[in-house]
Amino acid sequence: MRIIPFRELLAEFLGIFIIVFFGTGAVLVMQNGSAVTHQGISLVFGLAVSIAIICFAGVSEAHFNPAVTLSAVIAHRFPKEKAFQYILMQVGGAFAASFSLKCLFENSFCLGATLPTAGIEKSFFLEFVMTFVLIFAAGRAGKLQQSGAFITGLVAGAVQAIVTGK
């Protein structure tokens, strides 16, 4: 297995850390009685995705999500030899952000988890469709050569804010 440069792996770790820390953190702030609304949480998640992509797209592929990495591998746009290391960093970054939030909000019962209310099948289908739209939109934005990381980040963040708001 080829070892990926540390900077690239660190970018994946930090990107998902930003997304989980700020997005889930907004949920926890709302659950603790703050005036943060559902729309505010959607905006925080969307902005966190945009910021992570804008900051790290020049260092890594800026996937920040195992579903995005696996989709890129399946589409033959990302080498499968790198996928395991990317996913390991993404999971590690998400756990590190969650652990940090657990330390900050130690009395939280569910740590900002979203629990399905429409049944497992409907919830799975909804998550599948939303993830597909996110990956498709980010992939299309990334294909625009003149757009660069800034437009890709804005598009991915906008889609994240929209699908989180549902």
Helices marked H in the chain: 6-31, 38-56, 66-74, 80-104, 120-143, 148-164
Asked whether residue 126 carries a pLDDT value surpassing 90, the answer given is no
pLDDT at position 108, please?
79
Please give the Cα distance from 98 to 95 (Å, whole number). Answer: 5
Residue of higher predicted confidence among 160 and 26: 26
Please give the Cα distance from 108 to 101 (Å, whole number). Answer: 9
Average pLDDT on 63-73 reads: 90
- Categorize the per-residue pLDDT at 141 as very low, low, confident or very high, splitting at 50, 70 and 90: low
Question: Judging by beta carbons within 10 Å of its beta carbon (0-12, 13-18, 19+), is residue 35 exposed, middle or buried?
Answer: exposed
Considering the entire predicted model, what is its pTM? Answer: 0.81
Asked whether residue 113 carries a pLDDT value surpassing 60, the answer given is yes
pLDDT at position 3, please?
76
